[in-house]
Structure 1
Amino acid sequence: MILATLSYIWSFLRLGMSRYTLALGIVALTLYVLQWVRVRRYEQSLFERLGIPYIKPHLIHGSLHTMRGKTLATDILTEWLEKYGDVFGYYIGSKPNIVIKDLELIRQVLVKDFNNFSNRPKLIIEALPVIHCIVGLRDQRWKDVRSVLTPTFSMAKMKLMIGIMNERVDELLGIVSDHNAKEKPLEWYGLFQGLTLDVICECVLAMKRHCQRDQNDDMFFAATRYFLKHAMNPAIHLAIYFDIFAKLFTFISNQLAFSGRMTNMIVSHLKTVLEIRRKDSSKKYIDVLQLMLEAAESQLEPDTKDSVSKSDVKVPNGTNATHEHQSHTSQKSAREGIKKKNLTDDEIIANAWVFLLAGFETSANSLTSTAYLLACYPDIQEKLYQELCEHVEDGYEHMTYETVHKLNYLDQVFAESLRILPPVVTFISRDTNADFQLGKYFIPNDTNILIPVWQIHHDPKLWPEPEKFDPERFSPETKTSETRHPMSYIPFGAGPRGCPGVRFAQLEAKVAIARLLRTHRLETCEQTPIPLTFEMPTVTHIPAKPVILKAIRRE
């Protein structure tokens, strides 16, 4: 009887405790949610407090809810600019972003006051290997790594790469000839993706692929395409909206080594290559990976000369202990400074990896756009062909660096192609390092600034008849007679944080277009999409439909 009574009392207390705990939990959760909403709404009232026009945000999505669906981000930005003017704010989750189209303010951000805007926006997920590349690095470490990487893309280094580019274009022309024999038009975007991936693999990643011919079977080509197509996924959106998920996914990615198939393939391969090359340094390789390796290790001598004077290096006999200790400390500090400037293996691998991501789709876009526009404007294509005939002899196949740089009209064609169809449209952005007065606008610390490249390149005030393909906009005569604002044309960004691989990308594209047009005439056909339509899985415009063109062999 007593035991039954005690059991009943215990059951009653346990039930009561459970209900009490549940009630307490509900109250705590409610208070947390209310506090979260209060903080979120305060963060999303920043632009209202500053008096900057802004898009009214959704509690969770910020302003991204207006970008969802089939509408391109560039179309939304165009609508916003028309409604709110050249400077306005919007939110990604709770993160404040400011769009600036005013060219003088853009120059201030990218060039004049660069030290206040030297960083790109913080990574949503601080995952490997991107945290070690120049996209993810910030402040002084970015400057150190950039100073090591910049010489890798010098004119002298690019002359070493052009042979590989020519060989990959040989393969491209072989595919074009095969289709000619079968009287079949070609899908050019996929073909140019294969070309750019082949070039990057051999010039940067020290691997030889045949993605142009084996697109359906090449695992690496498929993995790269998949990575870029699904880079913005539900996990990324969760991380954008909620900080706790950003931290969780960072932990999963880095601590549990959970990366995509393409990333794992590259990292594993590059670690092996670096190990092999260090074991046998006598063999010379002509690729960006080797140049990064040499550039990183060659920093030792110049930095030593700059950091340590002769008196610090060599201490005379009879020097007192204090002087000797100071000298030793100075040498130690110099060595530590040198170590910080050299690239680590993680940074070499990360920058090779990001070079693939930055160059694969953008270069394919540039080539596809140029080929498409030339097919649609046969008079411009013919003028370019005449220039090629003047500078490239019959039967002369491979292009030299010097020949490419004689082709002035090709320069104009390519520049106008990048104006009318810029490959990257929402990537030129900066993060404020501190509170800053930008013109009449107060920009708080930790605010992202976005430069709307597409809208600048299609502004009729800057570019009359902006939809018209007109290479004469970039002729020497036009440049002499017109005063054009330097920020009115920024396909590769501007200032110290502009694209470091621009010379490589332009050389690859010009070699491909020059050699293709020297032997073939591009024409539209019934399957050609006119006009081109786009989609934006990431920060680039990519063709929404296959870009079909005919390539007719020139007699």
Structure 2
Amino acid sequence: MPLTEILFGALVILLAAAVYISRRNLNYWQQRGIPCDPPHFIFGNLKDVPKKISIAEVFRNIYKRYLGTGPFCGFYFLQKPSVLALSPEFTKRVLIKDFNNFVDRGFYSNEKDDPLTGHLFFLDGQKWRNLRNKLSPTFTAGQMRFMLPTVLAVADQLVDTLDSNLQKSDIIEIKEMLARFTTDVIGSCAFGIECNSLKNPDAIFRQMGRRLLTEERHSKFVRNLINALPGVARMLHMRIIKDEYTDFFMKIVRESVDYRAKNNVQRKDFLNILIELNKNAASDNSKGLSVEEMAAQVFVFFLAGFETSSTTLSFMLYELALNLNIQQRLRAEIMDALEKHNNEVTYECVNSMPYMKQVIAETLRKYPIVPQLQRVALSEYVVPEHPKYVIDKGTLIFIPVMAMYHNPEIYPEPEKFNPERFSPEEMQARDSINWLPFGDGPRNCIGLRFGQMQMRVALIYLLRNFEISTCHLTEIPLKLARELSLTNSKNGIQLKLQRTAAN
């Protein structure tokens, strides 16, 4: 038989197998009688992402369509049958009650070929458990007290930079300014390095921060394929982080660790905590962290720490500019708290303002930076009291956080900015699982204390020194970017600042 006929026959068999597997996958939920949207042959339920719609909007639309039909509905992540949570009880089971079956996030990590992916957010299974246990002591209230002076020093620089800019124009692109502030905070608190982003917008750490969020190694489609088939991607030794980013962070961490060891340098930063962990491990004859593992944790601390806080702060200032009565009430609380603490920004002062906590919580509700949570089933799971709702081993589960936050049955008038939703009375009347800015259960965000501290300090310094309002360049209503995985404004946020009367 000619070679061409053999090749042609093999090709036909492969195509037939691909069509069969595809049709089987794309009929998965229909055959089980679980509600779902009809999928696209290739893209599943992601056909219009991100050209016409963001993935958060896709989840939101499907959530609204099938809410009340059961604990979850079907969803096709490309051709991979997945689950979209609909009920608070099911969400609670995934994150808390039956956590041991849903401990993994299912993101792609490949520490061998792509060392910076070996961080706490991406790792699964026993690797995650071991690392979480090692890192948990690094974000205690005591460690936050040690880092607070560093955050305050950068906040002083933020005020100086704004004063300097106001001499040229009272209109500030606040999103970029706050990204420079949080970059400097994270640079100091993670590496012990002065990034100087506030003084120099083109400082290397700020450049890296911008590029990490906008320049990926692969297209969105390829990245989704990698996440849908992580085992195959590992077999192919695929990497998702650009080599230049890996080289940059590995070099910074390696040089810092070597310098501190040779010169016996001690600093109140995250890297020093990781170094101390290694010393303790050596004395206990247990395994410490390699330089690659330390670099991965510092990398994710940098990336998550500067972007999530700066974006949340920019949304918050936007809402305070639109709602001057809320701004005035928050400023009054800040000034009162400072007076009670002798005009000193102490750790107790930072944590003493209940209305500030409500304003931050409402911002995180209206603009959830992580619009959905992701988990994967480790074994087959039958939803209690719903025998038809069976989740196979390896199935992805998505919890549509933004959709929940904009459900009027949970949060009436969801588009309205209303911090009273988070008064003690309102919170007591609402199931806590309906607010998940830092996740919940054993795999909640390990850095939530640091993120809260960073945002509260920024608010104290900004509102005691400046009045914030809209201007002719302020985009109302604000448009959100479709292309990014995290919630972000599409066109930046322009606001007017002027010194408060007391200053």
Q: Same fold (TM over 0.5)?
A: yes
Shift in Å at residue 373 of structure 1?
0.8
Is this contact kept in 2: 1:124–1:240, CA < 8 A?
no
Q: Residues 242 and 300 of structure 1: is their aligned pair in 2 closer, same or farther, counting only changes over 3 Å? A: closer
Distance 1:252 1:432 in 2: 24
Distance 2:361 2:228 in 1: 38
Corresponding residue of 1:184: 170
Q: How does 1:127-146 map to 2 (within 5 A)?
A: 128-146=114-132
For residue 311 of structure 2, give the secondary structure of its aligned residue in structure 1: helix
Q: Which one of the candidate residues 311, 331, 341 is aligned to 1:385?
A: 331
For residue 118 of structure 1, give the secondary structure of its aligned residue in structure 2: coil
Shift in Å at residue 56 of structure 1?
2.2
Distance 2:368 2:238 in 1: 35
Distance 2:15 2:109 in 1: 23
Q: Which one of the candidate residues 8, 11, 15 is aligned to 1:33?
A: 15
Q: Which one of the candidate residues 101, 112, 115 is aligned to 1:116?
A: 101
Distance 2:350 2:230 in 1: 49
Point out the structure with max Rg over C-alpha: 1
* 1:171-229: CA deviation from partner (whole Å, max 9, x where unpaired): 211121122222430001111111111111111133221122322x3233223212211
- One-letter code of the match for 1:344? S
* 1:257-299: CA deviation from partner (whole Å, max 9, x where unpaired): x83423321111111212222334x432110111122134325
Corresponding residue of 1:10: none
Shift in Å at residue 147 of structure 1?
0.9
For residue 67 of structure 1, give the secondary structure of its aligned residue in structure 2: coil
Distance 1:434 1:237 in 2: 23
Distance 1:75 1:525 in 2: 29
Shift in Å at residue 124 of structure 1?
7.3
Distance 2:265 2:227 in 1: 46
Q: Residues 377 and 485 of structure 1: is their aligned pair in 2 closer, same or farther, counting only changes over 3 Å? A: same
Corresponding residue of 1:530: 476
Q: How does 1:513-524 map to 2 (within 5 A)?
A: 513-524=459-470
* 1:18-68: CA deviation from partner (whole Å, max 9, x where unpaired): xx2223212211211211221232233322233222222233222221334
Correspondence 1:283 to 2:265: yes
CA RMSD of aligned residues (A): 2.4
For residue 91 of structure 2, give the secondary structure of its aligned residue in structure 1: helix
Corresponding residue of 2:151: 165
Corresponding residue of 1:224: 209
TM-score, structure 1 length as denominator? 0.83
Corresponding residue of 1:261: 244
Corresponding residue of 1:357: 303
Correspondence 1:475 to 2:423: yes
Distance 1:181 1:243 in 2: 52
For residue 522 of structure 1, give the secondary structure of its aligned residue in structure 2: strand
Correspondence 1:246 to 2:242: no
Distance 1:465 1:140 in 2: 43
Corresponding residue of 1:432: 377
Distance 1:71 1:88 in 2: 20
Shift in Å at residue 241 of structure 1?
7.1
Correspondence 1:61 to 2:43: yes
Q: Residues 31 and 244 of structure 1: is their aligned pair in 2 closer, same or farther, counting only changes over 3 Å? A: farther
Distance 1:435 1:241 in 2: 18
> Kindly, what percent of the aligned residue pairs are identical?
30
Corresponding residue of 2:257: 274
Distance 1:37 1:345 in 2: 46
Corresponding residue of 1:317: none
Q: Residues 414 and 494 of structure 1: is their aligned pair in 2 closer, same or farther, counting only changes over 3 Å? A: same
Shift in Å at residue 125 of structure 1?
6.7
Is this contact kept in 1: 2:106–2:396, CA < 8 A?
yes
Q: Residues 252 and 246 of structure 1: is their aligned pair in 2 closer, same or farther, counting only changes over 3 Å? A: closer
For residue 542 of structure 1, give the secondary structure of its aligned residue in structure 2: coil
Corresponding residue of 2:33: 51
Distance 1:242 1:508 in 2: 37
Distance 1:413 1:349 in 2: 34
Distance 2:500 2:229 in 1: 58
Distance 2:150 2:52 in 1: 39
Distance 2:63 2:165 in 1: 45
Q: Residues 373 and 40 of structure 1: is their aligned pair in 2 closer, same or farther, counting only changes over 3 Å? A: same
Is this contact kept in 2: 1:220–1:262, CA < 8 A?
no
Greater CA drift, 144-153 or 62-71 = 62-71
Q: Residues 244 and 430 of structure 1: is their aligned pair in 2 closer, same or farther, counting only changes over 3 Å? A: closer
Distance 1:296 1:485 in 2: 41
Is this contact kept in 2: 1:192–1:368, CA < 8 A?
yes
Corresponding residue of 1:499: 445
* 1:441-492: CA deviation from partner (whole Å, max 9, x where unpaired): 211100111111111111111112222212122223444xx42101111111
Correspondence 1:107 to 2:92: yes
Correspondence 1:508 to 2:454: yes
Is this contact kept in 2: 1:433–1:446, CA < 8 A?
yes
Q: In structure 1, list runs of 5 or more residues that go unmatched.
A: 1-16, 305-334
Corresponding residue of 1:453: 401
Greater CA drift, 179-188 or 61-70 = 61-70
Is this contact kept in 2: 1:130–1:350, CA < 8 A?
yes
- One-letter code of the match for 1:541? T
Distance 1:53 1:395 in 2: 56
| Equivalenced residues, count | 492
For residue 327 of structure 2, give the secondary structure of its aligned residue in structure 1: helix
Distance 2:99 2:209 in 1: 33
Is this contact kept in 1: 2:107–2:230, CA < 8 A?
no
Distance 1:359 1:91 in 2: 31
Is this contact kept in 2: 1:228–1:537, CA < 8 A?
no
For residue 402 of structure 2, give the secondary structure of its aligned residue in structure 1: helix
